């Protein structure tokens, strides 16, 4: 291959209409300059959070990605050329690059991770050992301080971060309830992940189901917001903690969303509600990965993959994240 | 005096119509039984938070106070009879008793405080050294962890808790902005308390004024909720903390209120929003009082009083809390 295909962002998408916003373009394979690294991507990680980068909003956590250039995302691949002191040709790395055959990056210390090749399924670096794992672990431990015996609720429980939050919470010794959007996902959560209770939000009255949880919810690991957060808020236990890891409910509408409708419960129950992104903690990555690796090697956590083949099919894979069709981590294999 | 007058709660008030809900009754002065203490009240502390005790809601932080009995509240007075091992006749005490000439109480360890008589103005035990002081100090230090050089916003800034939050934040070395509901209050905050910026929410566009605060708001000490919280939310700084100490905006409507309308900012800015009541920390009271006393004796903090004379005028004083007519602590002198 002498050319590089990449997904170009032509304009910010309306809702989930990604086909009108992106085009697959071809260029020459770039040559790294001083401080740059060229990576042949093996897998792209598709993540709902990146939806916030492709809106015109300037009050998001990330400045709007410029239109007219390549789409940016996390990838796993091998270094084919490096002019960066820390990175060597042939190394397996994970970093924020482009939706492309090749990523050209100028890594700082935290944005490119050189990976240990002893992990048998490398894809787990985008799964249990990846940013979804970090998010689940940091959210449960550092933000919510989950204790054994507590009750943890996870929304988007069959998504990549949700599945890891369920498994880590269970490993810590918590009772785990999950909310997901299909019977297939609920069955998966019950039979394969082994959680204590599952709710299909499309066919159940979520608030009423949550009201049956004895003792209330000590920790809510929320990836969704909107009506799911509304339903959970009054069923939190005294001194409960809500970790806001994502607001999927609002991404398509440009991110606007209202706070929970029973907001007075934050005072009545002395709740802590905290927004949180693992990218604030990249320097803790080594320790996080070590803990996750120990659990993965011990069979406590794993990640199923929803794998699409071919860069040309990236948009179809990406849209799964916003229509709730995936179980586990959505990746593209190049 | 051989009789005891007390305010009886006949039914839960509608809005601020307290006259229809309470009546002033007369009974014999009660005699303490084993474990009980009789106190001659000198001052009653009137507190907005008690409004939540007199609604039929069962999901409040406090079970509804039974109708047909006396109204309950914090008071300062002298022990006239005690059958409690720790409490002696003649001691000056502060405890949760009745809106009455005499309070009959059965104190547990945390609910009755025996007071040091070296404080020249005893009323400060309901002010700078009281639960408002504890709330301000705990909220700023233990919940928000305010640092010198940060920017702190306080709502209901001319109320009892708000004034102490302003003064303590300034003493810690923060820049302080306050929101209040009259020019008189704003002038007081600027000239007497010395805060860095004040906003009259009745005559200004609060959101637009908050948008002018350079660097954003690191800590919002919120006593109000509703539209004030809405206005502040988008102007929080990255990793900002919001301490929810009260939701005055919602008390009259029975406590229902929605969360902030730009709730996505909790994720974008990784905000922490935490409900908080000082009554969870009563066992820390000695340390809190020692710190507050040091600041009070050093001239760093004080509390102005809005003092009404006569138990018979209690309802008029109480209603000031909900119509924004007081500066500082509302008390009744018996």
List, for residues A110-132, the tens digit of each pLDDT value. 789 999 999 999 999 999 999 99
Would B216 be classed as within a structural domain? yes
CA–CA dist B200, B209 (Å, integer): 10
Identify whether residues B145 and B262 lie together within a single domain.
yes
Would B183 be classed as within a structural domain? yes
* DSSP H stretches of helix in A102-223: 131-138, 160-172, 183-188, 206-210
DSSP structural state of residue B119: -
Identify whether residues B123 and B160 lie together within a single domain.
no
Q: Is A94 left (phi over 0), alpha (psi -120 to 50) or beta?
A: beta
Q: Say whether pLDDT at A43 is over 90.
A: yes
List, for residues B87-99, the tens digit of each pLDDT value. 999 999 999 999 9
Query: Among A276, A213, A210, which residue's Cα sits nearest to residue A241?
Result: A276
pLDDT band at B58 (very low <50, low <70, confident <90, very high): confident
Tokens of B228: 């004030």
Would A291 be classed as within a structural domain? no
- A259 neighbourhood in chain B, CB within 8 Å: 258-261, 263, 266
Mean pLDDT score, B62-73: 92
Q: Say whether pLDDT at B251 is over 80.
A: no
pLDDT at B253: 64
Q: C-alpha angle with apex A274: A247 to B288, nearest 5 degrees?
A: 165
Mean pLDDT of chain B: 94
- B255 neighbourhood in chain A, CB within 8 Å: 264, 268
How much of chain B exceeds pLDDT 90, in percent? 84
Please tell me whether the interface predicted TM-score (ipTM) of this complex is above 0.95: no
Residue A217 CA neighbour count, 13 Å, CB half: 33
List, for residues A196-237, the tens digit of each pLDDT value. 999 999 999 999 999 999 999 999 999 999 999 999 999 999
**Number of domains into which chain B is organized:** 2
Identify whether residues A101 and A144 lie together within a single domain.
no
Contacts for A299 with CB less than 8 Å, ≥ 6 apart? none
Residue scoring higher pLDDT (B268 or A2): B268
What CATH number did the domain enclosing B49 receive?
A: 3.90.180.10
Q: Are A228 and A162 in contact (CB under 8 A)?
A: no
Identify whether residues B78 and B198 lie together within a single domain.
no
Which residue among A258, A262, A276 places its CB closest to the CB of B261?
A258
Strand partners, B43: B76, B333
Would A260 be classed as within a structural domain? yes
Identify whether residues A166 and A57 lie together within a single domain.
no
Q: Say whether pLDDT at B67 is over 80.
A: yes
Identify whether residues A84 and A204 lie together within a single domain.
no
Identify whether residues B66 and B199 lie together within a single domain.
no
CA–CA dist B165, B301 (Å, integer): 10
Identify whether residues B217 and B315 lie together within a single domain.
no
DSSP letters spanning B143-195? IT---TT-EEEESSTTBHHHHHHHHHHHHHT-EEEEEESSHHHHHIIIIII--
Mean pLDDT score, A9-15: 94
pLDDT at A58: 77
Mean pLDDT of chain A: 94
Q: Exposed, middle or buried: residue B2 (CB in 10 Å: 0-12, 13-18, 19+)?
A: exposed
Identify whether residues A82 and A175 lie together within a single domain.
no
Would A157 be classed as within a structural domain? yes
Give the range of the structural domain holding residue B138, as residue numbers without chain letter. 131-279
CA–CA dist B292, B220 (Å, integer): 21
Q: Say whether pLDDT at B246 is over 90.
A: no
Q: Exposed, middle or buried: residue B325 (CB in 10 Å: 0-12, 13-18, 19+)?
A: middle
pLDDT band at B3 (very low <50, low <70, confident <90, very high): very high
With CB atoms and an 8 Å threshold, state whether A275 touches B267: yes
Residue of B nearest to A253 (CA): B264
In this structure, the number of other CB atoms found within 10 A of the CB of residue A162 comes to 28
Mean pLDDT score, A3-17: 95
Return the residue matching tokens 């990838």.
A75
Q: Specify the pairing of strand B329-333 against strand B37-45.
A: antiparallel
B114 touches chain A (CB under 8 A): no
Q: Is the pTM of this model over 0.90?
A: yes
Would A290 be classed as within a structural domain? no
How much of chain B exceeds pLDDT 70, in percent? 98
List, for residues B160-196, the tens digit of each pLDDT value. 999 999 999 999 999 999 999 999 999 999 999 999 9
Tokens of A166: 């369920």
pLDDT at A254: 62
CA–CA dist B138, B291 (Å, integer): 11
Residues 50-69, chain B, touching A (beta carbon < 8 A): 52, 59-61
Would A195 be classed as within a structural domain? yes
Separation in Å, CA A316 to CA A44, A101, A180, A310, A325: 13, 17, 21, 11, 11
Would B287 be classed as within a structural domain? no
pLDDT at A110: 73
In this structure, the number of other CB atoms found within 10 A of the CB of residue A69 comes to 12
Q: Say whether pLDDT at B258 is over 90.
A: no
Lowest mean pLDDT among B128-132, B157-161, B245-249, B304-308: B245-249
What CATH number did the domain enclosing A147 receive?
A: 3.40.50.720
Identify whether residues B200 and B118 lie together within a single domain.
no
pLDDT band at A255 (very low <50, low <70, confident <90, very high): low
Q: Say whether pLDDT at B318 is over 90.
A: yes
Whole-angstrom Cα Rg for chain B: 20
Identify whether residues A187 and A228 lie together within a single domain.
yes
Q: Say whether pLDDT at B310 is over 80.
A: yes
List, for residues A65-124, the tens digit of each pLDDT value. 999 999 999 999 999 999 999 999 999 999 999 999 999 999 886 789 999 999 999 999
Q: Say whether pLDDT at A282 is over 90.
A: no
Tokens of A123: 């894809």
Separation in Å, CA B67 to CA A317, B6, B11, B23: 61, 14, 6, 12
Identify whether residues B160 and B234 lie together within a single domain.
yes
Whole-angstrom Cα Rg for chain A: 20
Best residue in B259, B262, B276, B279 for a mutation probing chain A (most A CBs within 10 Å): B259
Q: Are B157 and B245 in contact (CB under 8 A)?
A: no
């Amino acid at each position: 291959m002498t050319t590089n295909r990449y997904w170009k962002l032509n304009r910010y998408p309306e809702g989930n209409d990604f086909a009108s916003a992106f085009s697959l373009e071809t260029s020459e394979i770039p040559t790294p300059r001083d401080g740059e690294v060229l990576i042949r991507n093996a897998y792209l990680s598709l993540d709902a959070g990146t939806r916030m980068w492709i809106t015109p909003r300037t009050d998001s956590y990330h400045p709007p990605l410029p239109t007219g250039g390549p789409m940016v995302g996390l990838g796993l691949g091998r270094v084919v050329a490096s002019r960066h002191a820390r990175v060597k040709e042939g190394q397996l790395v994970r970093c924020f690059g482009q939706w492309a055959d090749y990523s050209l990056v100028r890594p700082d210390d935290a944005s490119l991770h050189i990976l240990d090749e002893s992990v048998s399924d490398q894809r787990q670096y985008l799964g249990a050992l990846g940013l979804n794992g970090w998010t689940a672990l940091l959210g449960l431990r550092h933000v919510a301080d989950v204790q054994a015996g507590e009750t943890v609720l996870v929304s988007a429980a069959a998504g990549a971060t949700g599945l890891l939050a369920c498994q880590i919470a269970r490993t810590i010794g918590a009772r785990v309830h999950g909310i997901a959007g299909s019977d297939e996902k609920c069955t998966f959560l019950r039979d394969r992940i082994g959680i204590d209770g599952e709710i299909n939000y499309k066919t159940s009255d979520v608030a009423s189901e949550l009201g049956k949880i004895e003792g209330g919810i000590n920790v809510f690991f929320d990836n969704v917001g909107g009506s799911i957060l509304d339903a959970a808020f009054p069923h939190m236990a005294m001194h409960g903690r809500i970790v806001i890891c994502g607001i999927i409910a609002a991404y398509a509408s440009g991110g606007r969303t209202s706070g929970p409708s029973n907001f007075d419960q934050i005072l009545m129950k002395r709740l802590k509600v905290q927004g949180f992104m693992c990218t604030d903690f990249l320097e803790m990555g080594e320790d996080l990965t070590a803990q996750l690796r120990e659990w993965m090697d011990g069979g406590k956590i794993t990640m199923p993959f929803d794998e699409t083949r071919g860069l040309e099919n990236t948009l179809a894979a990406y849209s799964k994240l916003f229509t709730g069709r995936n179980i586990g981590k959505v990746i593209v294999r190049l």
